[in-house]
A and B are shown apart, each in its own frame.
Chain A
Amino acid sequence: MGIQEIVQILAAGLGSVCFALMFGVRGGKLITVGWGGALSWLIFLVGKQHGSALLGLFEAVVVAAAIAETEARRRKTPVIVMEVPLLIPLLPGGDLYRMMVSIMQNGVLASMSDIVWLVQEVFIIAAGIILVSTIVSVYMKIRQRLCKICAR
């Protein structure tokens, strides 16, 4: 891992914090958002090196969403307050730009691979969020049931 990657990881954390501030989030949540954003980008980079970029993205989204869900429950705050800033660095803003440039320079048909790539990324992000959110809600339901049974 070079200097560039480290700078990028730090920037991801800082970017998450900036977005959280933009959305009006304050206090201790900012710290969680900071390390969570940096960690998820680190996971993306590692995943990208050892497998495919899409797999890395999926893993990073799952980790970021898991951090958001657990931390939001711990702090008794809505999940989106944590989740949106945490996932911001993983959103494909750069690839959106690359796609636009490619469409401009090469036309729509020649940029099909860029367009499909962007759509894939969006679907992967959605899949990660859905997976984590479903697992958490199932877990909460089971825990509620168990608590009820134990209380009896």
Chain B
Amino acid sequence: MEFQRENRIIKCVLDAGELILKSGGEINRVEDTMTRMFQAYGFLRADVFTITSSIVVTVYTAQGAILTQTRRIYGYDTNLQRVALVNQLAREVCASPIGVEELECRLEEIDRSREWPFWFKILLYGATAAVFAVFYSGGVLEAVFAAVTGMGICLLLRLMQQAVSNAIVRYAACSAVGGLFLTLVQKCGISFHIDPAMMGNIMLLIPGLPFMNAIREMLAGDTMSGLLRLCESLIRTIAIAAGFIGAMTLMGGGLR
């Protein structure tokens, strides 16, 4: 078949771009990495266009053909180590292009490199919530309750991953359940400051990565993607607040 090799290379480079994008890399890093990789493989020209949910690429081959492929990006799965690994791989490719098969293998390896076992992730969520509870001037009791809530949130996020397709709803639900749990514990008569424990858990849910990516993207000239991410982080913040306020209202706080 004609252009089989070329199409395979394009597919591989798209895989690399997709990996960076869904793992939390910025738009301009995706476009830059892909363009450089195409250049390394001897394409005359490569036009890459990326927004947060799609990658489009058109390349001009040395034989004079013009090939286009598109990739729709669905979910996100933040793992910055993966961004670093793909970046490293792209550097190697640009220094000396490796074979298509090897590139495929290496990318698959990076894709499969799972971050942490689930139990460790649960502990990590708990530890992070506890640390931030202490950070917001909480004591031992606050840290313990924050940790329990944080671990619950991690479990809940995993459980809802399949059932609830919308990430915003997931975050609102987590925030609500966290708020509900902490107020219930307090209502049970255990006296502790609810504020630090709550703040520790809000830090878990706060959209730090989308916000910082939004700023960097707008700075790099990708205003559209930047706005999309800014919107995402704003909606997520509102969702966290809404979930929390909903829980408090339920427990008798009440909006005025």
| Contact A84–B80 (Cβ < 8 Å) | yes
Interface string of B130-144 (1 = CB under 8 A from A): 011011110000000
Q: Which residues of B contact A105 (CB under 8 A)?
A: 253, 256
Interface string of A19-55 (1 = CB under 8 A from B): 1111111100000000000000000000000000000
Return the chain B residue nearest A14 by Cβ. Answer: B131
Judge whether B26 is part of the interface by a CB distance below 8 angstroms.
Answer: yes
Interface of chain B residues 207 through 236 with chain A (CB within 8 A): 208-209, 211-213, 215-216, 219
Judge whether A151 is part of the interface by a CB distance below 8 angstroms.
Answer: no
Judge whether A66 is part of the interface by a CB distance below 8 angstroms.
Answer: no
| Contact B125–A22 (Cβ < 8 Å) | yes
Which size class do A's interface residues fall under? Answer: 35 or more
CA A7 to CA B88, docked complex, whole Å: 37
Judge whether B199 is part of the interface by a CB distance below 8 angstroms.
Answer: yes
Judge whether B53 is part of the interface by a CB distance below 8 angstroms.
Answer: no
| Contact A7–B134 (Cβ < 8 Å) | yes
Q: Which residues of A contact B82 (CB under 8 A)?
A: 24
CA A100 to CA B243, docked complex, whole Å: 11
Give B28 Cβ to nearest chain A Cβ, in Å: 11
CA A22 to CA B132, docked complex, whole Å: 14
Q: Which residues of B contact A14 (CB under 8 A)?
A: 131
Q: Which residues of B contact A106 (CB under 8 A)?
A: 256
Judge whether B24 is part of the interface by a CB distance below 8 angstroms.
Answer: yes
Q: Which residues of B contact A88 (CB under 8 A)?
A: 203, 208
CA A94 to CA B83, docked complex, whole Å: 29
| Contact A84–B124 (Cβ < 8 Å) | no
CA A133 to CA B24, docked complex, whole Å: 18
| Option from B24, B135, B254 in Cβ contact (under 8 Å) with A15 | B135
| Contact A80–B216 (Cβ < 8 Å) | yes
Interface of chain B residues 78 through 92 with chain A (CB within 8 A): 78-84, 87-88, 91
| Option from B26, B115, B244, B255 in Cβ contact (under 8 Å) with A80 | B26
| Contact B202–A104 (Cβ < 8 Å) | no
Interface string of B118-157 (1 = CB under 8 A from A): 0001001101100110111100000000000000000000
Give A45 Cβ to nearest chain B Cβ, in Å: 12
Q: Which residues of A contact B128 (CB under 8 A)?
A: 15, 18-19, 22
Q: Which residues of B contact A18 (CB under 8 A)?
A: 124, 127-128, 131
Q: Which residues of B contact A23 (CB under 8 A)?
A: 24, 78-81, 209
Q: Which residues of B contact A104 (CB under 8 A)?
A: 245, 248-249, 253-256
CA A100 to CA B244, docked complex, whole Å: 8
| Contact A96–B237 (Cβ < 8 Å) | yes
CA A15 to CA B124, docked complex, whole Å: 10
Q: Which residues of B contact A26 (CB under 8 A)?
A: 81
Q: Which residues of B contact A138 (CB under 8 A)?
A: none
* Other contacts beyond A18-B124, A80-B83: 19, CB < 8 A: A11-B131, A23-B24, A23-B81, A24-B116, A25-B81, A78-B80, A78-B87, A84-B209, A87-B208, A91-B203, A91-B208, A93-B199, A96-B202, A96-B206, A97-B195, A99-B241, A103-B241, A104-B249, A104-B253
In order of increasing CB-CB distance, the 8 nearest A-B pairs are A11-B135, A24-B81, A24-B79, A18-B128, A93-B203, A24-B115, A23-B80, A81-B80
Q: List 24 A-B contacts (CB under 8 A).
A: A11-B132, A15-B135, A24-B82, A26-B81, A76-B87, A76-B91, A77-B87, A78-B84, A78-B87, A80-B24, A84-B208, A84-B209, A91-B203, A91-B206, A93-B202, A93-B203, A96-B237, A96-B240, A97-B198, A100-B245, A104-B254, A122-B211, A129-B216, A130-B215
